[in-house]
Amino acid sequence: MRLKTRFDAKAGAADLWDYIREPRPYRWTFLTISILIPLAGIAMLAQESHFRPPDAPKVSFISTFAEGRSDEEIRQSNLENQKRKDAREAELAELRQQKVDAYKTLGRATGLDVDEMARQAAIENAREAAEAEARRRELYRAGSTVDDSGE
């Protein structure tokens, strides 16, 4: 069966007209409502809206530094912060080493060859570092060969 013979707009319009002409109660009310509902939806969607731009953000800067600090005061502050950072890193390194020592002690107590495991871990860490360095160099080379003309 072809599509053209199954769907005939002329026959559909004739059927609709015959249905509308039949004497049914409230036929004009239902027809009016069924036409008004889509028209109301289209009218609501077609309204033009104007949105005002958002307010500019109000920025308030909070500074823990005294205003008018000299370059020497800034330099001293940076040095103190660096000393604190170095102390924290040294403490973390010490904690890491204590953790490694504790695991090595546990491994020796259970009969594992922890020295061989440490060698394998060092080899694996060196391989991963070399791969990361190679990726970084490749990305650096790829980034430096990009044409900056925007083409």
The C-alpha atoms of residue 18 and residue 24 are separated, in whole angstroms, by: 12
The C-alpha atoms of residue 114 and residue 104 are separated, in whole angstroms, by: 6
The C-alpha atoms of residue 96 and residue 68 are separated, in whole angstroms, by: 42
**pTM of model > 0.75:** no
Phi, psi dihedral angles at 57 (to 5 degrees): -65, 145
Instruction: Give mean pLDDT, residues 121-129.
Output: 95
Query: Residue 129 corresponds to which amino acid?
Result: A
Q: Please write down the HEC assignment for all residues of 67-114.
A: CCCCHHHHHHHHHHHHHHHHHHHHHHHHHHHHHHHHHHHHHHHCCCCH
38-93 per-position pLDDT tens digit: 999 999 988 887 788 999 999 888 778 888 889 999 999 999 999 999 999 999 99
Q: Which two tokens stand for residue 144?
A: 């430096």
Share of the chain above pLDDT 70, in %: 92
The C-alpha atoms of residue 28 and residue 30 are separated, in whole angstroms, by: 5
Eight-state DSSP code of residue 145? S
